[in-house]
Structure 1
Amino acid sequence: MSAPIQSALLLRKQLKELTKHPVEGFSAGLVENDNIYEVEWEIIILGPPDTLYEGGFFKARMTFPKEYPLMPPTLKFITEMWHPNVYPNGDVCISILHPPGEDKYGYEDAGERWMPVHTVETILLSVISMLSSPNDESPANIEAAKEWREDYPAFKKRVQRLVRRSAETF
């Protein structure tokens, strides 16, 4: 059996599991496309309780490479997001989505990076955790990190606007 077919079967199994046993904080579904080598999921992440993002409905797209689970998927917010660990274009930057092995910059341990044991569930739980506690030590969005550190009230106000907008457009 080819790697892309094995990858697709594994992802279908994970989706079936998430459908049978939903996890609080997100929902996931398959995006239909004709490219057998690229599987995409549409994700809705609920803003975690007791965070600035509470009450928000954030749409994201998770794209799995044909080498999955040996290589990580990418996760990109479709809904506008203001967060130190989300690039301005919506790409999420967390350790477990970085390719396996040693970090050439020496910032992450290999054990913090992608491993084939990760599932859609563990990825999304990491993203929810990221929303709860940003890592401003290695920001993907420099401006958001700077505002988080130096003008928290402005950061909070901006996020609250995004949360409101996400709930209105959901």
Structure 2
Amino acid sequence: MLLSVNDLSKSYDGKQVIKDINFIIKKGEVVGLVGENGAGKTSTIKSILKLIRHNTGSMKFEGKEYNNIFDIENKICYIPDEPIFYNNLTCLDNIEFIGRIFNDEIDIFNEKYKELVRKFDFEKHLKKYPEELSKGNKQKLMIILGSLQNFKLMIADEPFTGLDPVQIK
């Protein structure tokens, strides 16, 4: 078991948006949260990541309960629903910056990022600044940046927003 969520509930100003959610994610599984807008998907994700406080429930990562985001740091990669970049850096600079934080072996990092850039057909955007990118290309950059991290679980909120069918596949 990689992640277990037990009896998770969350309210905002007395309005319950998450009620008694329970699930387990095993290594190698792909799981999707599906629901209408406002159903609580993002609140569930942010509660799991300890970015917001939940009202009740508990989460365990690799069998251990965790109390704050620092307990799961470098174990869970999060791709938010709104892209976050260093806008004063080019796309390549963003990639290299994240790479230096999460990768000790420069040769392995270079190979990894070049493969991701090829896979996402992103070569032509490397010298651009993030603000110059389309919504879909911003999303590609977020996925590339997230994939450069060494993690055991990736949580992505609205990961396919702006992507064409080829890139989604």
TM-score, normalised to structure 1's length? 0.25
TM-score, normalised to structure 2's length? 0.26
Bigger strand fraction: 2
